[in-house]
Amino acid sequence: MSEEHPAPPGAQREKIFNLPGVVAAVIWSLAAIQLAMSVLPSAFVAEAYSNLSFIPARISFILAPDAFMRAFAETFQRDGVERSDIAAVFNANGEPWWTLFTYALLHGGWTHLAVNCVTLAAFGAPLARRFGPGRFLSFFAVTAIAGALAHLAVHPFDLAPVVGASAAISGTMAASARFAFTPGVRLGGAGEASPEQDDGAQGLSSLLSNRRALAFLAMWFGVNLLFGLVPQAAGASEQIAWEAHVGGFAAGLLLFGLFDRRRVRGVA
């Protein structure tokens, strides 16, 4: 008769979808919002997108009304604008500063949401384990805002709404690069290296001298530039707000140390 031997401690079978609770909660929340936008009355959905999407012209109208009116007049004479686009700026309730973040909660469709959720699961999981739930959510919000501000800087008078969590997810990708290329770090399984394997992330100077990290950065910027110039390459029918992606990525790369619970190697 064969004798069964208990598995050694720590040798538990890995789950296929072993996501941290905070990442799973974000994904389920985004999915619930998208489901609501799919089944609620169209008038309510239009109002929600109007009030929660990020429209650069709204912020510019508040910060620089004279410059906005000049740009608006030039655009109207040259290209013409839709009445609904004008209403989205002038009929906004209050000062829509919240849209610098709330745009990240909306998506342009299920495909858009699915791509973002898969990417968030891949890069957000190791980051959430390293940061902890509170820091991860704060980091997610900060990088989303950074993405909106980057888009605002490039398109200050744009009337087109921006939606999607891509800027925040780009931030998680950049932050993961700060420790993923550190020698001895393993991102699989629990995503945690032992103390002797990992006593901190790499500083920017060390990161930029790492060939694998540089290849990752070059590939990321190359892909986003391609999708920005040729959105059809990503299967999108509308322009991709790649500037927001870059803003979120840059914020994730630079602000990682403010959220990390471990010390950072080298000069940040």
pLDDT, mean of residues 191-202: 48
Angstrom distance (rounded) from CA 249 to CA 223: 13
What's residue 245's pLDDT? 94
Task: Give the confidence band of 11 by pLDDT, cuts at 50, 70, 90.
Answer: very low
From 76-80, 192-196, 242-246, 257-261, the region with the lowest mean pLDDT = 192-196
Per DSSP (E only), the strands in the chain are: 201-202, 264-265
pLDDT, mean of residues 176-197: 59
From 92-106, 169-183, 224-238, 242-256, the region with the lowest mean pLDDT = 224-238
State percent of the chain over pLDDT 90: 44
123 CB neighbour count, 10 Å cutoff: 23
Instruction: Examine the pLDDT at 214 and tell me if it is beyond 90.
Output: no
pLDDT, mean of residues 54-62: 89
Task: Give the confidence band of 132 by pLDDT, cuts at 50, 70, 90.
Answer: very high
For 114, how many CA atoms within 13 A lie in the half-sphere containing its CB?
Answer: 3
Highest mean pLDDT among 86-100, 156-170, 251-265: 156-170
What's residue 263's pLDDT? 53
| Domains annotated on the chain, with CATH | 21-265 (1.20.1540.10)
Per-residue pLDDT tens digits for 65-84: 888 788 777 766 555 555 55
C-alpha distances (whole Å) from 8 to each of 11, 13, 107 are: 6, 11, 45
Instruction: Examine the pLDDT at 233 and tell me if it is beyond 80.
Output: no
Mean pLDDT taken over the chain? 80
Q: Which residues contact 87 (CB under 8 A, 6 or more apart)?
A: none
Task: Give the confidence band of 179 by pLDDT, cuts at 50, 70, 90.
Answer: confident
Instruction: Examine the pLDDT at 267 and tell me if it is beyond 60.
Output: no
As given in the structure block, the two tokens for residue 6 are 């208990």
Instruction: Examine the pLDDT at 120 and tell me if it is beyond 60.
Output: yes
Task: Give the confidence band of 255 by pLDDT, cuts at 50, 70, 90.
Answer: very high
What's residue 227's pLDDT? 74
CB-count burial class (<10 Å; 0-12, 13-18, 19+) for 58: buried
What's residue 223's pLDDT? 83
What's residue 151's pLDDT? 96
Instruction: Examine the pLDDT at 198 and tell me if it is beyond 90.
Output: no
From 137-151, 183-197, 206-220, the region with the lowest mean pLDDT = 183-197
Q: One-letter amino acid identity for 26?
A: V
